[in-house]
């Protein structure tokens, strides 16, 4: 069960009450990603990373840092402290939400079992590619949802009668299916073309593990590179849909480049130069 904790934290979000049962660094409670992913440099300067949200909000973050902090980490510290200044704890318990549970907390055991079974699939199978990639657990889970057609796109929400219309908000011309959103919407198509991909019109998101690799992209950790791109297309969509953000192709490629630098620490020590290769690809595409 302990080995499943990172995945559990990656696929759940927390609405903070008293902050006592929520991990400051590893739970997703402030933004769309855990703080250890958003502020990796700062976290690396922490003497311990098992603090609760309550520990940090009440006692402050600086007392948990090593004596010498780099300039880059100090920059991240300023950003975190600005975010924390807007956090107010209450007397209620923290509440955790999971895609495998109803609002009343009842688990969907069949879906959860399918997820756990896929994690133990033999090496070389389709599903094992996601779990063996160097992407963070939350992105690995997103990939699992992607190939099973279960991301919360408008077409899926229409089927569940949560929405009455499935028209893509990004292009306004087609239903927002999983494949349309990630591969064939006008913005997604231009994004992939800028990186040298030639994606057939009938290519489906469920086959993302078979996406043809351009000659300009190294074969090493190609699966992780593809997940990085899909993840940022999804994040861009959510930013536009829920927060009325505006993100150009250049800005999206820059976000991918920034993320590639963060993910470099997840690559094997002898292969971290592959992240520099990815960064150069994103730079050339801008």
Measured CA to CA, the distance from residue 53 to residue 67 in angstroms comes to: 22
CB 106 within 8 A of CB 97: no
Query: In DSSP terms, which residues pair with 25 in a beta bridge?
Result: none
What tens-digit pLDDT sequence spans the chain (286 residues)? Answer: 455 566 666 667 889 999 999 999 988 898 777 888 788 889 989 989 899 999 999 999 999 999 888 998 899 999 999 999 999 999 999 988 766 666 565 655 566 556 655 656 565 655 567 777 888 888 888 888 888 888 888 898 888 787 889 999 899 989 999 999 999 999 999 999 999 999 999 999 989 988 999 999 999 999 999 999 999 999 999 888 877 888 999 999 999 999 898 888 888 888 889 999 999 999 999 9
Residue 59 backbone phi and psi in degrees, to 5: -95, -10
Measured CA to CA, the distance from residue 160 to residue 107 in angstroms comes to: 18
**Residue 99: which residues within 8 A CB-CB, separation 6 or more?**
11, 145
CA atoms within 13 A on the CB side of 172: 0
Write a three-state SS string for 52-106: EHHHHHHHCCHHHECCCCCHHHHHHHHHHHHHHCCCCCCCCCCEEECCCECCCCC
């Amino acid at each position: 069960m302990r080995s499943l904790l990172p995945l559990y934290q990656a696929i759940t979000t927390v609405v903070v009450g008293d902050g006592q049962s929520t991990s400051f660094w590893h739970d997703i409670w402030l933004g769309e990603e855990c703080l250890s992913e958003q502020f990796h440099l700062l976290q690396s300067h922490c003497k311990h990373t098992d603090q609760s949200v309550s520990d940090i909000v009440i006692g402050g973050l600086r007392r948990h840092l090593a004596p010498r902090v780099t300039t880059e980490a100090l920059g991240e510290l300023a950003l975190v402290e600005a975010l924390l200044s807007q956090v107010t704890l209450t007397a209620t318990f923290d509440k955790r939400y999971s895609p495998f549970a109803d609002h009343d907390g009842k688990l969907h055991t069949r879906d959860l079992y399918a997820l756990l079974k896929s994690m133990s699939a033999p090496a070389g199978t389709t599903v094992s590619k996601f779990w063996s990639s160097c992407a963070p657990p939350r992105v690995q889970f997103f990939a699992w949802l992607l190939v099973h057609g279960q991301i919360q796109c408008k077409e899926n929400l229409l089927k569940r009668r949560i929405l009455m219309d499935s028209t893509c908000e990004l292009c306004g011309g087609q239903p927002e299916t999983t494949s349309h959103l990630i591969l064939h919407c006008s913005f997604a198509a231009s994004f992939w073309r800028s990186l040298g991909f030639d994606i057939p019109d009938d290519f489906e998101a469920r086959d993302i593990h078979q996406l043809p690799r351009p000659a300009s992209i190294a074969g090493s950790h190609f699966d992780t590179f593809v997940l990085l791109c899909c993840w940022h297309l999804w994040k861009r969509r959510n930013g536009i849909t829920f927060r009325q953000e505006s993100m150009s192709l250049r800005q999206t490629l820059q976000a991918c480049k920034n993320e590639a630098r963060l993910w470099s620490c997840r690559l094997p020590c002898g292969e971290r130069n592959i992240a520099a290769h990815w960064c150069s690809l994103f730079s050339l595409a801008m």
